[in-house]
Structure 1
Amino acid sequence: MDAPSPDYIGHRSRLRERLISGGGDTLLDHELIEYLLMLAVPRRDTKALAKRLLAEFGGMAELLAADAGSIARVKDAGDGVVAAIKIAQAVALRVLQAEASAQPVLANWQALIDYLTARLAHQTIESVRVLHLNTRNILIRDEEMSRGSIDESAVYVREVIRRAIELGSAALILVHNHPSGDPAPSRADIDITRNVIEAGKRMGIAVHDHLIIGRGGHASLRSMGLI
C-alpha cells in the first residue's frame, strides 16, 4: 500500500493540532468524521468519504444511528469504517446512559430524554424498549423488547411484567420511537400502555410513563393525561 503523501500528512497534523488545542468545537462535522475515520483507515485520505457519509445519511446524528449494513453500502466504507462509526455511537450512548442513571430518573428527566433521543430518534425501524427502575427510581436496566410496530404482537404484556419480576423492578417506563419523526401517540400506544399498567398493578409494579421519541421531539403519555 502506498504511503500517504506529504500534503496528506500535513493536513492530518493540522486537524490534530486544532482538535488538541481548541477542542472538538474547532472542527466542522465532516472534519470530526474525517478524523475518526483516519484512526480506522490511517493510510488513506478520508475527507471525501466523510463528506459522502454525511451527505448519504443527512447529518452526524443520522450517520451514527445508521445500521452497519447501510453504512457498508456507501462507497469505500469497509469494515474498519463501519466499526469506527458504531464504536463512536456506542461511546456516546454509554456516556448519556451513565448520566441518566446517576440520579433518580424523575429528578433527572432531561438527561433521560437526551439519552433516549440519541438512541432512538434517528432509527429507521421502530424499537420498543422497557426501562426498569428500582425503589429509588434509579435506572437499573434498559432493554429492547422488540423491533417493529407497537401492537399486541410486539409488546407481550405478560413478558414485560415477567421480566420486571425477574429483575426486581419497582417501576417501569415504556419507550418506543416513531421513525416518521412525529412523536404523537397512536391508539395502539395508549391501549398497550394501559394494559401494562393494569397488569403491573396486580404485581405491585408501577408504570411511570410511556415515552415516544421522534426526530421532531418526544411525547409523554403521562404529561398528555392519557394514562
Structure 2
Amino acid sequence: MAEKKQIHSGHRQRMHDRVRDYGFDSLAEHEALEYLLYFTNARKNTNPIAHALIERFGSFAGVLEASEEELCAVEGVGPATARLIHLLPSFSRYYRRSCAKERRRLTTSEQIGEYLMAQFHGKRQEEVLLVALDDQGRIGRTAWVGSGGADRVGLPVKKVVAEAVRMGASGVVLSHNHPGGNVLPSREDLAATEEIVRGLAMVEIQLLDHVIVTETEYCSLRQENRMPLYDVHSGQVLLASRSPRRTQK
C-alpha cells in the first residue's frame, strides 16, 4: 500500500512538472480532467475518475457542460468535485468579461467584436444583446433583449427600440450569437437589421453595428459593408450588398 501511494505521488508530481514546463494545453482531455480533480481529491487516484467522466460524457467539454446531478452519478465524483467542474465554464466567462471591461472604450470593429465574444462565451442558446456606446466609444448600459433555441432567435424590433430609448442612448450596437458555429448572417438576420435601423431612426438613435458571434469568430455587418443606412431626407433604408468575410479571434 505504501508503495502504491509513493507511485501515485510521483505521478502527480510529474503531472505538475509537465503543466509547469509545457502548459495545460500539453495534456490530453482525460489528463486535463485528472489534473483538475487533484484540487478536490488530495489523496485519491483521479485517473480512473477522469476516464469514467470522458466515457460518460464524450469529451472534456461534455463533462464541463454536464449538470451537477449527472456528474455525481459517476463513481468517485462527490458534490464538491461536481460543483467545481460545473462552474468552470462560468469562471471562464467571468474572466473573459473582466478582461473585456479593462478595454471599456471601443472604437474599432475588432475591439467591439472581441468584447462581444466575451459576453457570449459559453452560451449554448441564441441570445440577443444590446450595448449602448457614447460619442467616445465608451460602453454605457447593456441589456439582453431576446433569447431563442440552439439555432434560432428572433430579433425583437420593438423591444430593441424600447430598450435603446430606456438606455438614453444616441448609438447602440446589436449582437447575437450563432452557437452552431456558422458566423455568417442569415437572410432573416439582414431583414431584421433593416427593420431595427428603421425603428431606431424614428427615435433618433443610430444602430452603429450588428455583430454576429460564435465561440471563435465574429462577423461585423459594418466592417463588411452590410449595414443598412437610414436616409433622413427620403425616409428610406438604403441597403449595402457585399459577401461578408469571417473574422477569427
Shift of 1:82: 4.0
Q: For 1:111 and 1:46, how far apart are their aligned partners in 2?
A: 41
Cα contact 1:137–1:171 (8 A) shared by 2? no
Question: Equivalent residue for 1:11?
Answer: 11
**Residue 218 of structure 2: aligned partner:** 218
Amino acid paired to 1:14 = R
Unaligned runs of 5+ in 2: 229-249
Change (3 A) 1:23 1:184: closer
* Aligned match of 2:144: 144
2:206 is equivalent to residue 206 of structure 1:
yes
Shift of 1:198: 2.0
Q: Who is 2:67 aligned against?
A: 68
Q: Go from structure 1 to structure 2 and tell me whether the alpha carbon gap of 1:18 and 1:79 turns closer, same or farther (over 3 Å shift).
A: same
Trace 1:1-227 onto structure 2 (pairs within 5 A): 5-20=5-20, 23-51=23-51, 53=53, 56=57, 58=59, 60=61, 64=64, 66=65, 68=67, 72=71, 75-76=74-75, 79-101=79-101, 102-107=103-108, 109=110, 112-113=113-114, 116=117, 119-120=120-121, 123-148=123-148, 149-151=152-154, 155-214=155-214, 217-222=217-222, 223-227=224-228
Listed as ranges, the gaps of 5+ residues in structure 1 are none
Cα distance between partner residues in 2 of 1:71 and 1:111: 37
C-alpha separation in 2, matches of 1:73 and 1:186:
40
- Mapped contact 2:130–2:142 kept (Cα < 8 A): yes
- After superposition, the Cα gap between the structure-2 partners of 1:186 and 1:111, relative to the gap in structure 1 and judged at 3 Å, is closer
TM-score (norm 1): 0.71
- CA gap of 1:58–1:29, structure 2 versus 1, over 3 A, is closer
Richer in helix (by share): 1
* Cα 1:150–1:111 shift into 2, 3 Å: closer
How many residue pairs were aligned? 218
2:226 corresponds to which letter in structure 1?
A: G
Shift, 1:23, TM fit: 4.4
**1 CA distance for matches of 2:130 and 2:49?**
36
1:78 Cα shift?
A: 5.2
Does the 8 Å contact 1:135/1:169 carry over to 2? Answer: no
Q: Identify which range, 195-204 or 42-51, moves more after superposition.
A: 42-51
C-alpha offsets along residues 70-93 of structure 1, whole Å, 9 cap, x if unaligned? Answer: 964873455434432343323332
Q: Could you tell me which amino acid in structure 2 is paired with residue 125 of structure 1?
A: Q
Tell me, what secondary structure is at the counterpart of 2:182?
coil
- Paired amino acid for 2:108: A
Are residues 187 and 36 of structure 1, via their aligned partners in 2, closer, same or farther at CA, if it must alter by over 3 Å?
same
With over 3 angstroms needed to count, the CA separation of the structure-2 counterparts of 1:180 and 1:94, relative to structure 1, is closer
Question: Deviation at 1:185?
Answer: 1.6
Q: Which has the larger radius of gyration?
A: 2
